[in-house]
Amino acid sequence: MKEENFIKKIFDRPETEIPLESGYREDPAGVAVADTRDTLRSEHLKEGVQPIVAAVGAWYDFDDSQDEELSLLYDREKYPENSAIFHHVDFYGEPGELHKNRFSNGGEKTYVISPVDNKDKVSTKYIDCTGLIVTGKDKESGEDISFASHQDPYYFLSESENTEIFLKDLHAHLKEIQSRCEAGTIDAVIVGGDYNSSYKKDVKYYKGSIYLLANEVSRSLGFEPVVITGPKIETGADHIYYNNKKRRLFIIRPSVGDSSTKSYLPRDMKKEEKKWRKDEGKLKDKRKKNHS
């Protein structure tokens, strides 16, 4: 199948038709949603369970002396010795070493998914890449467990074989969370990605990635994940630190304050996209003015 046709199929609906299981409905945006609960309002969680809460800002917005997570994120040279505290979900890591440390991946710069456990998670340089953080309360230990991913849409949306490889590993992690955790305690959020309307293929990859991740989470866990921040409209990368115990997610990105900083549901992407385009236009006008 030609790449453009495959991307169009992903954009409309994933390559493999998703059977809408009992209780599912087909959302107009192409996302299989378990029910009408609003995950932005945490309606999928039982009373007393905290959702994943994000603090989003540029590097200069945070004081790393106030937050241990940020001091750990900043000091990248100490990542290896801090492995007892957190998993480094290293998209740029050596595949053999990643497998040795129980990370799922499809080869160099394809995707990386951490083990499911009670460690914090760190991942840096989400440029075009998207990520998924999923957590829940373990039935046996009573503590939160989680996993985090970092994947390149250009890899898993470019060929159907790559899509199947990625989804096989992702589904295994979602199934583990679903089987190990108490009902009503599981939450999931999507991070990363960028948006540049001048490059139509990039836009399709971003949107296809969100729809694919949302479908898989909806199918496996029974709710629609929140996209915790929209795609970057300014050049740069996102970096994250996830505190597993506190369900607190730090997201460092090039700039904040526009509509792309806000959370949204995948089913609402078309509506949100209009806001991104508007803010993107303002950014381009500002750059022209600064260069004139």
Amino acid 291: pLDDT: 63
**Cα–Cα distance measured from residue 155 to residue 106, given in angstroms and rounded to the nearest whole number:** 9
Per-residue pLDDT of 261-277, as tens digits, reads: 999 999 999 999 999 99
pLDDT 10s digits, 134-145: 999 999 999 999
Residue 66 has a pLDDT of 66
The pLDDT of 220-225, averaged and rounded, is 93
Pairing of strands 248-252, 53-57: parallel
Tell me the pLDDT tens digit for each residue of 81-122: 778 889 999 999 999 999 999 999 999 999 999 999 999 999
Rounded distance, CA 86 to CA 84, Å?
6
pLDDT > 70: percent of the chain: 84
pLDDT the model gives residue 7: 42
Question: Is the C-alpha dihedral spanning 72, 78, 82, 88 positive or negative?
Answer: positive
Cα separation of 13 and 282, whole Å? Answer: 32
Nearest to 252 by CA among 123, 128, 118, 146: 123
| Residue range 185-206: mean pLDDT, rounded | 92
Looking at the structure of the chain, the number of domains it has is 1
Q: Would you say 79 and 122 are in contact if contact means Cβ atoms under 8 Å apart?
A: yes
Give pLDDT, residue 127: 94
CA 54 to chain centre: 12
Could you report the per-residue pLDDT of 66-86, keeping only the tens digit for each? 677 777 777 777 787 778 889
CATH number at residue 62: 3.30.1330.200
Q: Find the mean pLDDT for residues 191-205.
A: 89
Q: Tell me what pLDDT residue 35 has.
A: 59
By residue range, what is the domain housing residue 69? 3-291
Q: Where are the beta strands (DSSP E) in the chain?
A: 25-26, 32-33, 53-57, 86-88, 104-105, 111-113, 120-126, 130-137, 144-151, 187-192, 226-227, 238-243, 248-252
3-state secondary structure of 11: helix
Q: How many whole angstroms separate alpha carbon 260 and alpha carbon 283? A: 12
> Which range is least confidently modeled, 7-16, 36-45, 126-135?
7-16
The predicted structure's pLDDT at residue 292: 58
